[in-house]
Structures are given as C-alpha cells and as structure tokens.
C-alpha cells in the first residue's frame, strides 16, 4: 500500500499537529487510480459475465492483474507505473464482480453464507499478506522494495487464473447461454446427487423470467420493479465504506505513528489488526447460516460503534482539540485493543455481509447489472474516503471516530428495519422473500402463479 520512492520529487511533509503528522510520500492520489479503474471495469463485467460466464470473467480478471503487477514492478517511469496500476484495478473490478456471484450461484442454499464468506476471508488474508510484505520490503535497502511487493501480487493472480480453468461455470449461467445439458450435469456433480429436477426446474424458470427483461440496466434503474434490490445495491457498499474500515486498514501505520508509535511498531500494529481481521472472519463463516445475516450485522455494528467512541475518546483525552501532546504507553495500548475490537466486529458483520447480501438478493434478470453497481459504488467510495481521510483527521481530530461511529449507528438502524433475512433461501427464490417484508412488500408485484406458491411453501419449510 505504500510506495515511498515513487514520487522522489516530493519532500517529506510533516505537520507539527499530531492529528496531521504524516508523510505525504506514503499518502498520495496514486492509490485512487486502482479503485477508479476497478469501478469502470465493474460495468464491463456485467455484459462479459452474461455473454461468457462467471468462469471466464475470473480468468480475464486474473490475466489483467498479472500484467498490471508486472508492469508496476518493472516500471521505469510514472506512465508505465500508473498503467500497471490501472490494469490492477481492472483485475480487481472484474474479480470482485464475478467471485461473489459465482459462489452464490454454485453453493447449496444451506451453505451459501459460509462459502461466500470465504471470499471475504481471502480478502482479509490478502490484507494481512500485504501488511507483512510491506513490513518486509520496507527493510530492503536501496529503495526498490516496493517493486518486490508489486511482483508478489502475481502469485495469487496466477492461482486464480489456473483455478478458473479447472472449475465449471455455474449452472444458471450455462442455462442462460443455452447449454441446458451441461448445466444439468454440472448441477448433479456439485450437489452430489443424480436427481436434481426440482432445482434445475427452478433455475430454468428463473432463466425464462430473466429473458423477459431485454434491458436489465434500464429495468434496474427505471423499471420500478426492483426498488428493494436497487436500494441495497447502492446502500450496502456505500455504508460499508463509511464504517471507516479502510481508514483503519489503509492507514493503520500512519494512525499508530500519529498517536506515538515508532515506525516499526506502527507496521507491527497493522499486522496485528490484519491477524484479528483474518481470525474474526471465521466467526462469520461458522455462524452466517445458523444465526442469520441480520444478527451478525446488528451485533457487529453495535461492537463497532462502542469501539469507535472509545478510540475517539482516548485520543481526545491525550491530544485534545489542539492536537498537541504525547501518547502514554497505556493509552496507546488501549487504542490498539479497541481498534482490534472494532476490526473484529467488522470482520463478522459489514465485511463479509457487505459482499454476501448483494450477491444473493438480486433476481437473475438484473443480478449481473446490480452486482456491477455494488462493485462500482464500493470502489468509488473506497477511493473517495481514502482521499478525504487526512483532511477529515486534520479538521475533525478525534471527532473523526465519532463521525464514523455515527454512520455505523445509522446503518445499523437501516439493517434492523429494512433488511429481510435470507439465510437458507435458494438464490433463485430470494426475490420471494421481499413479499413477506413489512416495508418492501408494497413495492413487489406478486404474480400469484402456481410456481411462485410452491416456492414460497418450500421457503417457509426450510426457514422454519
């Protein structure tokens, strides 16, 4: 995440105010290029996934990432470096569009939450790996350690490329593209049974209904039929970034250095938060299909609010409004502790649920388009928050943590009132859940067909 030799012409910028003490070489607009190119790529991912399937979208994503990492690692000038960064963004945008959809469409309903959260687990492993790599490469003399860090990115990308060649496409994607026999065979293989008629008929019905929607983008935004899904496509990724998690994970070394840690200690602290992030995600893996999505959202949100209030209070007591002072060791340890408590709450709520819910609530007709919206909103606000964080820190001071805590309170109320429970509901039948919700049912037109009635009975039995 840090490239201290990229902008050699810049001088170290140190502001005496503790809230604004940072190295501008570590914090530049360079980071936003990846997120913005990922946002653009997400919109191209929708027609690509629809025409060629989730599998090949993942393969193209991996190739783009490999090429981008190589460009960046070998870059001799800024133009080549930024080109590599943009290609990395393309890979990220395509991958985070296709991966959650692939998992949701392949997984059995009773295990969809657990399997989809493995996607978030790999994100946390990647963040931890990046922190460890930063820590190691920062010790390489000569100023070229960042090239090693970029080159390491080719390893997971190569694994994705090879893995995508070995896996089948999803049954619903095969049906949509007219390969019903392959879809039936794939479904039987992944379910481990020969008789898959009921699920195959549900998938075929969903496919036929999707074909009636000739323009999914127009229908999603202007048709009025998918208001609940569009709401969550926009607000879930928006809220996920306003939890403040990227401020913690991107700038953990800067934050800890600001409150008095040495350079090495700040990097070690970011590794600690990375470890907490990884191991806490296992809580979501084990409980998402048992206690449900809503329970994890509400518990994790409450934990995050309390942690942010305490972190802001501890920093405020030490530095006050002036931003001057010294952080005692006891206070510093308390801050690290509650940052870890905050990260743990995110890791089993807004982290995995922020990707799981959007991937499973969309009907097939607009699923790929809506996922593009989710990814684009996520990437846009990731870039936006990363750029305004330092300005907010300098002006809001310790109140920054109250600011994000207020947003977490708002989004927790949003989940409590407007999110229906979707655990154990087959992905092709999730759209029927909206009809039972006290608020969203007024926006959903009940076709009243026999097939829909049969689906609703099955959902009631599986959720009881």
pLDDT digits over 428-437, tens only?
Answer: 778 788 888 8
Q: What pLDDT, on a 0 to 100 scale, did the predictor assign at position 294?
A: 94
Q: What pLDDT, on a 0 to 100 scale, did the predictor assign at position 214?
A: 76
pLDDT digit string, tens, across residues 181-233: 999 999 999 988 888 888 898 888 888 878 777 788 888 888 778 888 889 98
pLDDT digit string, tens, across residues 441-453: 888 765 444 444 4
| Separation between Cα atoms, residue 425 and residue 462, nearest integer Å | 7
| Separation between Cα atoms, residue 26 and residue 4, nearest integer Å | 6
Question: Which structure tokens are listed for 270?
Answer: 């970011």
Residue showing tokens 């392959």? 182
| Separation between Cα atoms, residue 49 and residue 101, nearest integer Å | 10
Instruction: Give the helix/strand (H/E) hosting 381.
Output: helix 364-396
Give domain 13-167+213-448's CATH superfamily: MFS general substrate transporter like domains (1.20.1250.20)
pLDDT digit string, tens, across residues 255-294: 666 656 666 666 677 778 888 989 999 999 999 999 999 9
Burial per residue of 9-29, b for 16 or more beta-carbon CB atoms within 10 angstroms, e otherwise:
eeeeeeeeebbbbbbebbbee
> What is each CA distance from 427 to 5, 20, 108, 373, in whole angstroms?
47, 47, 9, 19
| Separation between Cα atoms, residue 61 and residue 68, nearest integer Å | 11
| Separation between Cα atoms, residue 109 and residue 372, nearest integer Å | 23
Beta strands in 26-166 (DSSP E): none
| Separation between Cα atoms, residue 447 and residue 295, nearest integer Å | 31
Are 336 and 269 in contact, with CB atoms under 8 Å apart?
A: yes
Are 41 and 14 in contact, with CB atoms under 8 Å apart?
A: no
Question: Which structure tokens are listed for 232?
Answer: 């969550």
Question: Which structure tokens are listed for 148?
Answer: 């090693």
Eight-class DSSP state of 29: G
Give the confidence band of 24 by pLDDT, cuts at 50, 70, 90: very low
Give the confidence band of 20 by pLDDT, cuts at 50, 70, 90: low
| Separation between Cα atoms, residue 50 and residue 368, nearest integer Å | 7
**Selection from 130-134, 170-174, 222-226, 434-438 with the highest mean pLDDT:** 170-174
| Separation between Cα atoms, residue 341 and residue 307, nearest integer Å | 7
Cβ neighbours of residue 63 closer than 8 Å, sequence gap 6 or more: 91, 157, 161
Give the confidence band of 161 by pLDDT, cuts at 50, 70, 90: very high
Are 397 and 321 in contact, with CB atoms under 8 Å apart?
A: yes
* Average pLDDT of every residue of the chain: 82
355: pLDDT strictly greater than 60: yes
Give the confidence band of 463 by pLDDT, cuts at 50, 70, 90: very low
DSSP H helix total and E strand total for the chain:
19, 0
Cβ neighbours of residue 192 closer than 8 Å, sequence gap 6 or more: none
| Separation between Cα atoms, residue 405 and residue 396, nearest integer Å | 13
Are 58 and 95 in contact, with CB atoms under 8 Å apart?
A: yes
Are 429 and 455 in contact, with CB atoms under 8 Å apart?
A: yes
Are 367 and 219 in contact, with CB atoms under 8 Å apart?
A: no
Give the confidence band of 366 by pLDDT, cuts at 50, 70, 90: confident
Q: What pLDDT, on a 0 to 100 scale, did the predictor assign at position 2?
A: 28
Report which of 130, 160, 161 is spatially closest to residue 148, judged by C-alpha positions: 130
Q: Would you list the DSSP string of 224-252?
A: STTHHHHHHHHHHHHHHHTTSHHHHHHHH
Instruction: Give the helix/strand (H/E) hosting 454.
Output: helix 450-463
- Helix (H/G/I), strand (E/B), else coil: 5: coil
The radius of gyration computed from the CA coordinates of the chain, to the nearest angstrom, equals: 23
The proportion of the chain whose per-residue pLDDT surpasses 90, expressed as a percent, equals 35
| Residue 21, CA atoms < 13 Å, CB-side half-sphere | 20
Cα-Cα-Cα-Cα torsion 143, 148, 149, 153, nearest 10 degrees, comes to 160
**What value does the mean pLDDT take over residues 73-81?**
85
């Amino acid at each position: 995440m840090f490239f201290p030799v990229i902008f050699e012409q810049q001088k170290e910028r140190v502001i005496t105010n503790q809230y604004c003490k940072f190295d501008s070489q570590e914090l530049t607009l360079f980071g936003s290029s990846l997120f913005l190119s990922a946002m653009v790529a997400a919109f191209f991912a929708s027609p690509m996934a629809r025409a060629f399937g989730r599998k090949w979208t993942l393969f193209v994503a991996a190739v783009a990432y490999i090429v981008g990492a190589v460009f960046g690692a070998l870059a001799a000038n800024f133009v080549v470096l930024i080109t590599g960064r943009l290609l990395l963004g393309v890979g990220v945008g395509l991958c985070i569009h296709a991966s959650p959809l692939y998992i949701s469409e392949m997984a059995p309903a009773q295990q969809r939450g657990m399997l989809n959260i493995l996607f978030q687990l790999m994100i946390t492993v990647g963040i931890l790996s990046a922190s460890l790599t930063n820590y190691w490469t920062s010790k390489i003399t000569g100023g070229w350690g960042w090239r090693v860090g970029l080159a390491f990115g080719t390893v997971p990308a190569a694994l994705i490329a090879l893995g995508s060649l070995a896996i089948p496409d999803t049954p619903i994607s095969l049906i949509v593209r007219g390969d019903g026999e392959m879809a039936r065979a794939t479904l039987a293989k992944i379910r481990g049974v020969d008789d898959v008629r009921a699920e195959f008929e549900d998938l075929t019905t969903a496919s036929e209904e999707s074909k009636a929607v000739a323009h999914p983008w127009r229908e999603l935004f202007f048709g009025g039929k998918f208001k609940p899904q569009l709401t969550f496509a926009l607000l879930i990724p928006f809220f996920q970034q306003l939890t403040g998690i990227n401020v913690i994970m991107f700038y953990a070394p800067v934050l800890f250095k600001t409150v008095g840690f040495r350079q090495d200690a700040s990097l070690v602290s970011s590794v600690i938060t990375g470890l907490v992030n990884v191991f806490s995600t296992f809580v979501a893996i084990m409980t998402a299909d048992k206690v449900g999505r809503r329970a994890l959202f509400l518990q994790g949100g409450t934990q995050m609010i309390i942690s942010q209030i305490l972190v802001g209070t501890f920093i405020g007591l030490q530095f006050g409004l002036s931003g001057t002072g010294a952080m005692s060791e006891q206070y510093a340890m308390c801050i690290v502790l509650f940052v870890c408590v905050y990260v743990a709450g995110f890791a089993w709520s807004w982290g995995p649920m922020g990707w799981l819910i959007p991937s499973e609530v969309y009907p097939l007709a607009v699923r790929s388009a809506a996922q593009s919206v989710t990814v684009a909103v996520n990437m846009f606000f990731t870039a936006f928050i990363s750029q305004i964080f330092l300005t907010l820190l300098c002006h809001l001071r310790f109140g920054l943590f109250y600011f994000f805590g207020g947003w977490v309170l708002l989004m927790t109320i949003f989940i409590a009132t407007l999110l229906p429970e979707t655990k154990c509901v087959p992905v092709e039948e999730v759209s029927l859940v909206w009809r039972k919700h006290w608020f969203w049912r007024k926006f959903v037109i009940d076709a009243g067909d026999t097939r829909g009635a049969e689906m609703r009975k099955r959902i009631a039995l599986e959720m009881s």
